[in-house]
Amino acid sequence: MFCLKRRNLFLVSLLLILCTQNGLSQKKKAEEPEAEGSKIKRVHKQIPYPDGRPHATYYINPVDLGIVFKHGSGPDKCDIYGARDIWVWEHERTFYMHYDGAGPKGWVTCLAKSEDLQNWKSEGPTLDLGEKGTKDCASASYGTTFFDKDKWHMFYLGTPHTSPAPDLVPAFPYLTMKAESNSSTGPWKKQYDVTPFSPKENTYYSSTASPGQIIKQGNDYLMFFSASTDKPIKRTIGIARTHDLNGTWEIDPTPIVPMEEQIENTSIYYEPTNKTWFLFTNHVGEKDGLEYTDAIWLYWTKDLNKWDAKHKAIVLDSKNCKWSKQIIGLPSVIKVDTKLVLFYDGNRSPLLPQGVKSHMNRDIGMAWLRLPLMLPE
């Protein structure tokens, strides 16, 4: 009875929070969300990127709730320089969030908890930096989780390189590393003897092969991982496959969309009403010679193994985000009742921070889309 009452109180609280907010459309004017579902629509006016990189021809309009977690609130200054790169999940009626805490020693995966998605309490780091000489000695960040009904698996980003202090921004190569736990909240045991996959020369993942959303299909696990080259940096999403979460993954020879799309990181939602997969990802734009994450996009498909780069839409950018007017960080989505709740990070500065500072002083925001997600006509 207690759990049922608690769940009902949560749903009522969330409904009040979500239904009292207004969003802005890609057309820069107030627009109420659709009464039944959220529809992908065609962009009325396209603004090309200075370097000619592809742009989206569709958009979908979420309701942005603003900041729900500010950096600097974690224990022992674990996120004093920024909180970003989130991964959100629910377990036993509690919501959990992994986020990258930028602290005095570097960026590590931190844990926060919430009962209502809007009020979060940081528990501090859930991973530590590896010892000198290990692949995660400079950063152990972006902790994505997967529960196989027996153990909790974490695939996280490790690297031995960063920019100089105090920012300590992770630098190439971006590696996928593994940890496991009997609990969703840890403690996590790093598995240095497990190498899921690694960057490979002369491929689309020569500099980045970092973790992403895992989808199980039959006996197979598919990970939609971030991939990139260097000099020049081109970014895309690839699929890695395995039968064993503690084994080696095989990487598809080609990415799901061309590298010119300039996207990274994944969070995936399946819409049962139209049998469509929606992949939310971070788009990297360019302004005055600086590359930075400028938007959240989504791609859609009926078949996880077949994607069309034309089937993409803008979800959130500077036009419909209430508080971050330059930078929009990577997405994490979770279904709650009749809403798809979207978490992301951003920067409150009205001007675009330059250089490595564009990665710092991030806070975490929340938006939502009314379900179902509807395809364009």
What secondary structure letter does DSSP report for 321?
-
3-state secondary structure of 181: strand
Can you tell me the distance from the alpha carbon of 235 to that of 128, in angstroms, rounded to the nearest whole number? 28
User: Which of 373, 366, 374 lies closest to 63 in space, CA to CA?
Assistant: 366
Lookup result for tokens 């009452």: 5
**Predicted local confidence at residue 45, as pLDDT:** 86
Can you tell me the distance from the alpha carbon of 95 to that of 14, in angstroms, rounded to the nearest whole number? 13
Please give the chain's pLDDT, 377 residues, in tens.
334 344 444 454 555 444 444 333 333 333 555 668 999 999 988 889 999 999 999 999 999 999 999 999 999 999 999 999 999 999 999 999 999 999 999 999 999 999 999 999 999 999 999 999 999 999 999 999 999 999 999 999 999 999 999 999 999 999 999 999 999 999 999 999 999 999 999 999 999 999 999 999 999 999 999 999 999 999 999 999 999 999 999 999 999 999 999 999 999 999 999 999 999 999 999 999 999 999 999 999 999 999 999 999 999 999 999 999 999 999 999 999 999 999 999 999 999 999 999 999 999 999 999 999 999 98
What are residue 324's phi and psi, to 5 degrees? -105, 105
Residues 40 and 48: beta-carbon distance below 8 Å: no
Domains recognised in the chain with CATH numbers: 2-212+223-237+255-374 (2.115.10)
74 token code pair: 């974690």
Planar angle of CA 241, 263, 172, nearest 5 degrees: 80
Burial 103-124 (b: 16+ CB within 10 A, else e): beebbbbbbbebeebbebebbb
**Predicted local confidence at residue 36, as pLDDT:** 86
Can you tell me the distance from the alpha carbon of 280 to that of 95, in angstroms, rounded to the nearest whole number? 20
Amino acid at 271: E
Strands 139-147 and 152-159 come out as antiparallel
Can you tell me the distance from the alpha carbon of 244 to that of 232, in angstroms, rounded to the nearest whole number? 34
